[in-house]
Amino acid sequence: MDLTTTTERASTYPFEGEPMALYQAQGRSTATFYDRSNKVFYYYYRPDYPPYRPNGDPYYIWHRVSAHRQRAVMWTRDGIHWERRHMIATDEHDPPGNTLYGFGFIRPWGPAEADTNGQLYTAAMMHWDIYDQTSRQELVWSRDHIHWHRFGANRKAMLPQSPMGSFDLTQSKLAEYYVTAGTDGQEEWWFPYTGNPTRYMLNGPSGDTAEELAADHPYMGMAPFFTSWEDFFKEARSYRKRAGLARCKVGRLAHVEPEDRKGEFTTHPFLLEGGRLLINASTAPGGSLRVEVQDPEGNVFPGLALADCQPFSGDHVAHQVRWSDARIDEVNARVVRLRFVLEGAKLYTWRLAQ
């Protein structure tokens, strides 16, 4: 499996222990997905010991057995002829020692796909930091299952990392969710996940004493956070994998908001198909969000200007944007751009509906 210059193997097996392997979300380091509409089978894996390394690190640092993990994807239409490409690597915005460990599609629990009409696919990328031995999950997205994208310098973990000793210092399998009603009647996504309070390298190593731990795992003494074998032994003995639950309102995995209180952005031109514009947004007290509809050259359609838009304020996952004297379905089947102006507001998603 020669992705670049070395012979490498796909780490672990795509079907190990998975009764629904075609739909598994995060089977250790691999994941599989079958696109029924296009009849393509995708196999996501991490190549072991590739020639590319974590940014800023020598090939082997203090953890002798660490695989310097990146991500790759293979796909086939007939089960015989395969294509493959490098998928995601660490970059200048990642901390030194960062590796890409696991991958899982974000979608409703079970075999169903997320309801995006095939326009967008999201996934949770699990990072493993070999400097501090903790893990976190990052939102990534694709439009074709092959080319995956990340946020830039301001990217954040989907769940903030908890302090040392907390049950979810290290986190895994934040991918599939259940849809349920929140206390305000609006839909929420509930993500079950697992966490433990110890660093990855200390999740239950062998030995009944600190001395045995030191003898069995001497390279741990080279860890940047090493204090004493007694501290490491105490931490290792506290290892307990526990269940956690993360919640958000439907669709609220990421958002855009102004750096200052007020800002705006304009979409790329697209073919408008639908009679209603729905936004998933929230505002601070006194905040607002308005939308203007333009043609590809930036000319405003009559009645759909910013001044005509009825400002949105509040907190809603599917608010219908309205204008005073026109409707967006009057430009249905036209190529348009949307100009969003936010003041003290967060926009999570927008979509067109019939």
Cα atoms in the Cβ-side hemisphere of radius 13 Å centred on 261 = 8
Q: Identify the domain boundary among 249, 271, 286.
A: 249
Task: Categorize the per-residue pLDDT at 27 as very low, low, confident or very high, splitting at 50, 70 and 90.
Answer: very low
pLDDT at res. 47:
67
Distance CA 216, CA 340 (A): 59
Write the Ramachandran bin of 213: left for phi over 0, alpha for psi from -120 to 50, otherwise beta: alpha
| pLDDT at 76 (0 to 100) | 93
* pLDDT band, residue 51 (cuts 50/70/90): very low
The rounded distance, in Å, linking the Cα atoms of 312 and 320 is: 9
Residues 49 and 171 in one domain: yes
The top-scoring range by mean pLDDT among 16-20, 204-208, 333-337 is: 333-337
DSSP letter for each residue of 266-299: EPPPEE---SEEEEEEEEEEEEEEEEEEE-TTSP
Closest among 90, 102, 289 to 194, alpha carbons compared: 102
Return mean pLDDT, the chain: 82
- Listed in sequence order, the residues at least 6 apart from 8 whose beta carbon sits closer than 8 Å to its beta carbon are 1, 2, 47, 48, 49, 50
Q: Residue 206: what pLDDT?
A: 65
Asked if residue 21 has pLDDT above 70, the reply is no
The answer to whether residue 36 is domain-embedded is yes
Region 57-73 average pLDDT: 57
| Radius of gyration for the chain, computed over Cα atoms and rounded to the nearest angstrom | 24
pLDDT score of 350? 95
Using CA atoms, how far apart are residues 235 and 199, in angstroms rounded to an integer?
8
Q: What are the distances in angstroms from CA 273 to CA 6, 252, 329, 330?
A: 47, 23, 8, 11
- 27 vs 147, higher pLDDT: 147
The answer to whether residues 175 and 55 belong to one domain is yes
66 located within any domain: yes
The answer on 163 and 276 residing in a single domain is no
pLDDT the model gives residue 90: 83
* Per-residue model confidence (pLDDT) at position 264: 97
Q: Are residues 25 and 153 in the same domain?
A: yes
Residue 97: predicted pLDDT: 77
**93-122: per-residue pLDDT in tens?**
988 778 888 888 888 887 666 667 677 889
Least confident of 1-10, 266-275, 338-347: 1-10
Q: Which residue has the higher pLDDT, 102 or 255?
A: 255
133 dihedral zone (left: phi>0; alpha: psi -120 to 50; beta):
left
What strand order describes the sheet that includes 134-142? 98-105, 121-129, 134-142, 148-149
- pLDDT the model gives residue 66: 47
Give the Cβ contact number of residue 53 at 10 Å.
17
Residue 216 forms part of a structural domain: no
pLDDT at 327: 94
Range of the domain at 43: 21-203+239-249
Residue 256 included in any domain: no
Please check whether residue 148 lies inside any domain of the structure.
Answer: yes
Record the pTM: 0.82
Whether 234 maps to a domain, the answer reads no
Residues 161, 25 share a domain = yes
Closest CA to 304 of 329, 326, 280, 330: 326
Tell whether 55 and 185 lie within a shared domain: yes
With cut-offs at 50, 70 and 90, classify the pLDDT of residue 23: very low
Q: Do 39 and 124 belong to one domain?
A: yes
Q: Which of 249, 273, 308 represents a domain boundary (last residue)?
A: 249
Q: Contact at 8 Å (CB) between 131 and 99?
A: no
Residues 186, 129 share a domain? yes
The mean-pLDDT minimum among 173-177, 261-265, 322-326 falls in: 173-177
Helices (H), the chain: 210-216, 229-237
In sequence order, the 6+-apart residues with CB closer than 8 A to the CB of 115 are none
